[in-house]
A = this chain, B = another copy of it.
């Protein structure tokens, strides 16, 4: 039983609007993989579309090309070590789900394996093949077909970062295993 709540697709871009580091999940023909990605962004609100950089040599790219789908899961602060670990090993050498005891549930639309425990949210994505961007820039485009979040930190289309949900707050990779965690929230005031 999931504790996540569906996110309206019109709000899906907000899940990654602030640049969190994410876990990319994929599966095909009995194989599955998870990797970390610091380089992703929304590209469109409606329909919700994203771009994400996934090296063409990775096992993940192979699984995405075969299945036409992938998941984007947002790890909270308790998953910093796990995020770095799955970003430093290849799915060709090890079953990372088994090695780290990561549980998944199938996405509602495409059946992509999605991680909820320790995560703030996920987006289930349908790959939009763009050979040139993929070849030249390792940039993959996708449409978000379902999204859900832990309502303790994201509900009704809005993030709420509080002291009592610090463990679910997003992490942002600076490089070399150093992450900056989401801090205080500030509301912009109107300028004259």
Q: Which positions in A face B, CB cutoff 8 Å?
A: 13-14, 17-21, 38-44, 49, 51, 53, 77, 80-85, 100, 130, 132-133, 136-139, 141, 157-159, 161, 169, 171-191
**B43, A137: Cβ atoms closer than 8 Å:** yes
**A18, B38: Cβ atoms closer than 8 Å:** yes
Choose one: B20, B53, B130; the contact of A43 (CB below 8 Å): B53
**A18, B174: Cβ atoms closer than 8 Å:** yes
**A177, B188: Cβ atoms closer than 8 Å:** yes
Number of copies: 2
**Nearest opposing residue in chain B for A139, CB measure:** B43
Choose one: B14, B83, B133; the contact of A130 (CB below 8 Å): B133
Choose one: B132, B180, B187; the contact of A182 (CB below 8 Å): B180
Complex alpha-carbon distance, A105 and B155, angstroms: 42
Complex alpha-carbon distance, A179 and B14, angstroms: 12
Complex alpha-carbon distance, A139 and B19, angstroms: 16
**Nearest opposing residue in chain B for A43, CB measure:** B137
Apart from A39-B41, A80-B188, A133-B133, list 8 A-B contacts with CB within 8 A.
Answer: A19-B21, A40-B41, A42-B53, A43-B137, A51-B53, A81-B189, A139-B139, A172-B172
A53: chain B residues within 8 A (beta carbon): 41-43, 51
A137: chain B residues within 8 A (beta carbon): 43-44, 49, 51, 141
Choose one: B51, B173, B176; the contact of A139 (CB below 8 Å): B51
A38: chain B residues within 8 A (beta carbon): 17-19, 41
- The list of the 4 closest CB pairs from A to B, nearest first, reads A19-B19, A183-B183, A84-B188, A18-B172
Complex alpha-carbon distance, A93 and B122, angstroms: 39
